[in-house]
Amino acid sequence: MASQPRSEAAPAADVPSLVHQVTPSPELLEAASATLRMLAEPTRLHLLWQLSQGPKTVTELTAAVGVPRTVASQHLAKLRFSGLVDTRKDGRHVIYSLRDGHLVRLIRETINHADHRITGEPTHG
């Protein structure tokens, strides 16, 4: 199969793009809604916010979020099952991290949007 020539505006194959031109199909809208449902619970959102700052262990997340370890573990399991969080082993510790940069930006923007709403700071254009 012959490859299509790449336009000058298209990103290089090894450079991930930040914005994708998509048409929201029913399948895409359902997947996006599922992601937003995972963010719709305050403890999960707080865990994700912590992970948007960088990878962390359950112990670090529990201390930062201020919830019992069992609560953090239950939420992290849901986030992992939903594909939003990755894990890796480091000795006896499991290190959690966010799946991709889109999710990092979504979480940060969500928190910043809420900050504008609560503080009354003018929105950005």
Q: What's the Cα-to-Cα distance from 34 to each of 9, 79, 96, 113, rounded to whole Å?
A: 32, 11, 20, 20
What are the residues whose beta carbons fall under 8 Å from the beta carbon of 44, sequence distance 6 or more? 38, 75, 78, 79
Considering the entire predicted model, what is its pTM?
Answer: 0.81
CA distance 104 to 33: 17
Mean pLDDT for 39-55 is: 97
Q: Which domains does the chain have, with CATH numbers?
A: 27-119 (1.10.10.10)
Q: Which amino acid does the sequence have at 116? A: H
pLDDT digit string (tens) for 54-69? 999 999 999 999 999 9
Q: What's the Cα-to-Cα distance from 23 to each of 12, 20, 26, 28, 29, rounded to whole Å?
A: 22, 10, 10, 8, 10
Residue 2 has pLDDT above 60, yes or no: no
- Give residue 9's pLDDT band: very low, low, confident or very high (50, 70, 90): very low
